[in-house]
Structure 1
Amino acid sequence: MSTLILADHDNQTLGAATLVAVTAAMKLGGDVHVLVAGSGSGAVADAAAKVPGVDKVLHADDAAYAHALAENVAPLIDGLMSNYDNLLAPATTTGKNVLPRVAARLDVQQISEIISINDDGSFDRPTYAGNAIATVKSSDAKKVITVRGTAFEKAETEGGSAAIEAISGAGDSGTSSFVSSEIAESERPELTSAGIIVSGGRALQSGENFEKYIEPLADKLGAAVGASRAAVDAGYVPNDYQVGQTGKIVAPEIYIAIGISGAIQHLAGMKDSKTIIAINKDEDAPIFSVADYGLVADLYEAVPELTGKI
């Protein structure tokens, strides 16, 4: 039994979600290899080699892989899979983009966003926006699996000493090209790795109110800022703030939901948080069903008072 993991990275830093995939791979047993496909990504390969549990790092350094274009990365992985029983990737934007294409090339069914691995070889994954957990088992000879980034403990970042092997693939397929990226820069922590998240909902009514009420509280707590889909769709905050089924899946130590009613799509993205605090003037809001601490109050009064006391 051997497993290949597609590393999530930005050519400089190994993504934290990759550490979760390593833990999942170790539960499958056998050798664990990590593929770092990028350009100028030597530091990422070095970091992957230091992760305990990783037996080998395959490093494909080519300009064709600089932006993780699925049309280029999928053929690379396909060419390697004759040596592996399982292919894993974190359920990030890259993993969700690349792995279905690999599954199609291998003619197998993908198992998406698993949250646990069972002793009988089956996998648990959320369905119906997390309201039900499906247990699935595949008879395919090779398993193609994405791993929810909050489902397993992160592997350590030091202590390993895996060998790094340089490999090459077909390179640029010529079927797609990178045009540009718009990356939001912030001094606050990134949502998926933050220990504390302060999220706002449609009740904030405007982007100005996010700046006035949510951001000062987040800054005092050293927290990331999140939002419900309703707030994003209304244009209050950028898309990358969205937490939920169609946004980012998070599990911080503390999640503060302000003016968020708690639609099932939002709960699917944050209900694994260690401690959930909800502030909402509607005492029947669904968010209170998952909250550890709830305050029924007008956010425009409660949030400034809370911020002032920190």
Structure 2
Amino acid sequence: MMIVRSVAELRAMVAAWRRAEEIVGVVPTMGALHAGHLSLVEAAKGACDRVIVTIFVNPKQFNNPEDLAKYPRTEERDAELLGPHGVDVVFAPPASEVYPEGFATKVSVAGLGDPLCGAHRPGHFDGVATVVTKLFGMTNADRAFFGEKDWQQLQIVRRLVKDLNLPVEITGCPTLRDPDGVAMSSRNGRLSPEDRAKACVLPRAMQDAAAAIASGGTAAEALASARTAILEAGFAEVEYLELRAAEDLAPLERPDRPARIFAAAWLGGVRLIDNIAVPEMSPA
């Protein structure tokens, strides 16, 4: 496994793979890898001849400088984790390689980036869309793999690929969870042991709400009960807790099409996000 810093070196390698008619996959990450990331790598290995993992803490998707400063940077450990998984290249460019002097372009996906995290993190998804578009151009990959935990991000990436006619196939991979149901995230490592023990209430409350809605209960009542349970468990704030359409993220009152519950909540100074599918409503 090689660690590459420059676009020119990466492109030369990818060009050789393409001459050999090999399928190239990419797993974009910001590092601080965990088993969820490794599941994306395994999905890529199963579908591609060559796999690139990118590690780049993208400053343009952080609207809070403190959050950017606190984001864990563990490249050496990340490389050790990736070693046994047959990754061909880790692309870990410096910021100057991604955003050289004079960089002036922004990719923005209207609509999908506005609600949920977009409403609470202004500019976040513009930063995501811009860096993902750049990474696709840098890696020239055939397929890209993203986790479903960041469902809104996944839908935005799918839309920009479609709208911009980018020649890359997007694969969403299931959210990996710890045994207590908490979605795996690099941010979980910032929770104290006491707060980590409370974190399981978020997915449990979401599951209870999903079951209630699927059984015919109103979304408003089910989500209100879930919000109360989350706050009573010790969360400082529920930023949002909503039922929305899975594809276009339109707000819903009932799951009359594929739907998901989306949540963001603060616990111990850490912002946790999650989403779960809502089962089809039971027949009346």
Please classify the TM superposition score into its range, dividing by the shorter chain length: 0.3 to 0.5
In terms of Rg, which structure is larger? 1
TM-score after normalising by structure 2: 0.43
Structure number with the bigger relative contact order (C-alpha 8 A, sep ≥ 6) is 2
TM-score by length of 1: 0.40
Higher helix residue share: 2
